[in-house]
Amino acid sequence: MMDCPPLFARPGGPYQDAGGFDWADNYLRFGLLSKVAALLASGVTPLDWKPDLLHCNDWQTALAPAYLRYRLPQPAPSVVTIHNLLFQGLFPRPTMAPLDLPEHSF
């Protein structure tokens, strides 16, 4: 289980606050989710198994393959399924540094 109360224990929904506005830190929130998914699909997973494939859905987990490529050893293959192209999770270039992804991956 992933537990990070500063990013997830708050009123509202998973994408927006109680007023219906996107959380300003959604890039960090879903970046963490992607990082954990990538860790579990890498050669350094803390679990006793490794998946054959990491299947990501939409922008919320689409950074997982990037973490596998740039930050983790022995990655599993990955695929991203896009269900709704309207919601792309676009964020400005300065978000790359806090996400711990190389600048050239932007």
pLDDT band per the 50, 70, 90 thresholds, residue 72 = very high
Q: What percent of the chain has pLDDT over 70?
A: 99
Q: Which residues lie across from 79 on neighbouring strands? A: 55
Closest C-alpha among 23, 27, 43, 31 to residue 2: 31
Q: What is the pLDDT of residues 76-87, one digit of tens each?
A: 999 999 998 888
Q: What is the pLDDT of residues 16-50, one digit of tens each?
A: 999 999 999 999 999 999 999 999 999 999 999 88
The answer to whether residue 1 scores a pLDDT higher than 70 is no
The answer to whether residue 75 scores a pLDDT higher than 90 is no
